[in-house]
Structures are given as structure tokens and as C-alpha cells.
């Protein structure tokens, strides 16, 4: 999810469906019961990253009013400019890859070194599940010996992949997908002036509001529809797996695998719900494995990967024709 889809000023207030968490977050600040580490556990597209930014604004603003950052003080402005000395953001150097141990070591050094002006230090690690084992071990030390007034906000959409040693030291906050009403109301405000069927886009985005927003604002929807048409065509033997694998080389591999996953999932709970087919569930497992593989390895022959997956995909439907 690109950070540019939301203006920085939009981070001042949490997204409408995070209201309940926000209230308890504020209560805990007021009563000085904020934990040292919070793990925001949410599907990508629910807005955990956005919430982490809202939390950072709330903690680094020097002029908070009614639990909301002001957006005008030096704390808010330097955070917006990306120059706040007490804000640390760690993400993989390349999208979809791992967070490396050298990044975590550098983070720990910087957090200790910075001159704290009596306020909070905020660290965001996004996504926490992309830390490799060494990186996670390096982070453990700082989780075991927490610095005063430092909060770690870890974001994860695959909590099971995060080492137990890390998870057990965090307060885990699971953020759920908002109701269709709340999501479409929010999207309507964002899509003003655009010819778009909000409910349709929201459905394609599996109800995930920020993913739907990405589709409305970018070319994600068109790409995704093309891929779904190709998957459909292979189901009906109108396209061959090898040619489709070639055609799919132009899409980012991790996006492609997510599109296929969500398409297969929708098929299972929708069109094919009365024709249960174990092969489809095995195929889902393969996709999830492939996704993990893409995340952890640097040099994958994606042409071969797509070929293998698509040949299997076509075979699932062969017997039914
Ligand atoms: Zn402020």
C-alpha cells in the first residue's frame, strides 16, 4: 500500500473504524499506562499503517487538544516533513523483501543516541513479520530493556510468522475490517468527482477500504481485472497457462499472488460454494506457500512459478468440462 494515498494531514485523526482503539489509546496515555510495545495486527488495507502515524502524531504533538494532534506545532510539522528526531520508521529496503538485522541494529543505536526533548520516542516497524530471524533477535534486546518514554509500534498482517519471543512482549491489538456501511461512507468522501461504483470496488477489494481506495485512485483495479479475466479464461480453456504466465510478468509478483488469492477465495465462497472441490483448497495452500517464498527469497524465476501454478489451476477445471 503506498503511503501517498493518504495526505499527511489525514493522519491527525484516526480512520473512523479505529475509533474504539483510539479512545483506549488516549485513556492509556492519560493514565500513563501505555505499554512499551504495541503490535497492530490487521489485514493489509484496514489501515494499520495509517493508525500508527496517527498514534505518532498524538504522541509527538506538543499541543494536543481533546486527544488529537494539532497539526501546526513543531512536533507535528517536523513529523510531516519526515525530520522529527524522535520518530523512527523501519521498513524493508525493497518492497516485499525482509527487514535486515543491520537495519534493526542501526535503529537501536539511533534510538539510544537521539536527544530526547522530554517527550516520547516513537518507533514504527512495518511490517514486523518481514524481520528475518537475526533482525528479530536484535530487536528482542530493546524489548527486554525498554527505554523510558519509548514506544514501539509493530505492524503485522501475518501475526503467525512473527516469532513468539517478539509477540509475547507486545500488547497485541487486532484491528478488524470495518462494516460495509462505514467503509463505503468513508470511500464516498474520498472518491468525490470520480465515476466509480463504490460498492463494486469495495467488493473486489474484499471489503478492505484502503485497498479499495488504491483501486479508485490508481490503475490497480484495471490490472487486477485483467488478471481475473485471464484466470477465468484458463478455467474455460480459452488461454494456455504458459502464455498467461508470460503475460503476467508485467505485474509485481507479490501483488499478483494477492490478486489470485483473493480471486480464488471469492470463487470458493461465491460462485463455487455449492460445488466444494478439495483441489481448490490445495491450490490456496500452494498460493500461500508461494507468497511466503516470494517474500523470503531474492532470486525467484517467476515465469516458472506462474507456469507451475497456472498449469495446476487449469487442471482443476479440466475434469469438470
Ligand atoms: Zn502538534
Kindly list the domain boundaries of the chain, sorted by start residue: 3-174, 219-318
Q: What is the DSSP letter of 72?
A: S
Cα(23) to centroid(ligand 1), Å = 18
Whole-number Å distance, alpha carbon 75 to ligand 1 midpoint, is 6
Positive or negative torsion for Cα 99, 102, 107, 112 = positive
**Residue 314 reports pLDDT greater than 90:** yes
Residues around ligand 1, an ion, CB closer than 5 A: 61, 63, 69-70, 73, 76
Nearest Cα residue to 53 out of 64, 42, 69, 66:
69
CA of 79 to the centre of ligand 1 (A): 9
CA distance 141 to 149: 16
Report whether pLDDT(243) > 90.
yes
Quote the ligand 1 centre to 7 CA distance (angstroms).
16
Q: What is the pLDDT of residue 34?
A: 94
- pTM of this structure: 0.76
Q: What is the CA(14)–ligand 1 centre distance, in A?
A: 15
pLDDT band at 197 (very low <50, low <70, confident <90, very high): confident
pLDDT band, residue 8 (cuts 50/70/90): low
Arithmetic mean of pLDDT over the chain: 89
Query: Is the pLDDT at 177 greater than 70, yes or no?
Result: yes
Q: Is CATH 3.40.50.300 the right assignment for the domain spanning 3-174?
A: yes
31 C-alpha to ligand 1 centroid (Å): 20
Most confident range, picked from 47-61, 115-129, 247-261 = 47-61
Better pLDDT: 297 or 120:
120
Class of domain 219-318: mainly alpha
Region 201-220: what's the mean pLDDT?
A: 86
CA 76 / ligand 1 centre spacing (Å): 4
Could you give the percent of the chain with pLDDT greater than 70? 95
pLDDT interval class at 227 (50, 70, 90): very high
Q: Are 3-174 and 219-318 in the same CATH fold?
A: no
What is the rounded CA–CA span in Å between residue 260 and residue 240? Answer: 16
Taking the centre of ligand 1 as the mean of its atom positions, its distance from the CA of residue 69, in whole angstroms, is: 5
Q: pLDDT of 66-112, one tens digit each?
A: 999 998 899 998 888 888 999 999 999 887 789 999 999 999 998 88
CA distances from 222 to 191, 207, 251, 293 (A): 17, 18, 12, 26
Going from the Cα of 40 to the center of ligand 1, the distance in angstroms, rounded, reads 23
Amino acid at each position: 500500500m503506498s503511503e501517498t494515498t493518504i495526505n499527511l494531514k489525514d493522519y491527525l485523526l484516526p480512520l473512523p473504524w479505529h475509533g474504539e482503539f483510539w479512545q483506549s489509546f488516549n485513556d492509556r496515555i492519560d493514565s500513563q499506562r501505555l505499554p512499551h510495545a504495541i503490535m497492530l495486527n490487521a489485514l493489509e488495507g484496514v489501515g494499520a499503517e495509517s493508525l500508527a502515524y496517527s498514534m505518532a502524531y498524538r504522541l509527538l504533538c506538543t499541543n494536543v487538544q481533546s486527544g488529537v494532534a494539532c497539526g501546526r506545532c513543531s512536533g507535528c510539522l517536523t513529523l510531516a516533513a519526515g525530520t522529527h528526531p524522535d520518530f523512527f520508521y523501519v521498513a524493508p529496503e525493497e518492497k516485499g523483501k525482509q527487514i535486515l538485522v543491520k537495519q534493526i541494529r542501526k535503529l537501536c543505536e539511533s534510538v539510544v543516541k537521539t536527544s530526547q526533548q522530554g517527550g516520547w520516542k516513537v518507533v514504527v516497524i512495518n511490517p514486523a513479520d518481514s524481520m528475518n530471524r537475526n533482525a528479530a533477535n536484535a530487536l528482542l534486546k530493546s524489548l527486554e530493556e525498554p527505554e523510558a518514554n519509548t514506544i514501539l509500534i509493530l505492524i503485522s498482517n501475518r501475526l503467525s510468522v512473527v516469532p513468539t519471543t517478539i509477540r509475547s512482549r507486545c500488547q497485541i491489538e487486532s484491528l478488524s475490517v470495518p462494516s460495509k456501511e462505514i467503509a463505503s461512507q468513508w470511500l464516498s468522501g474520498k472518491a468525490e468527482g470520480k465515476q466509480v461504483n463504490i460498492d463494486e470496488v469495495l467488493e473486489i477489494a474484499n471489503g478492505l477500504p484502503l485497498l479499495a481506495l488504491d483501486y479508485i485512485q490508481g490503475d490497480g483495479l484495471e490490472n487486477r481485472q485483467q488478471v481475473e479475466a485471464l484466470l477465468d479464461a484458463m478455467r474455460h480453456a480459452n488461454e494456455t497457462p504458459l502464455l498467461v504466465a508470460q503475460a503476467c510478468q508485467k505485474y509485481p509478483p507479490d501483488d499478483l499472488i494477492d490478486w489470485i488469492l483473493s480471486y480464488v477465495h471469492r470463487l470458493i465462497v461465491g460462485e463455487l460454494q455449492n460445488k466444494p472441490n478439495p483441489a481448490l483448497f490445495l491450490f490456496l495452500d500452494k498460493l500461500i506457500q508461494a507468497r511466503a517464498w516470494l517474500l523470503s527469497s531474492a532470486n525467484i524465476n517467476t515465469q516458472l512459478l506462474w507456469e507451475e501454478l497456472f498449469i495446476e489451476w487449469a487442471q482443476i477445471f479440466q475434469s469438470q468440462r
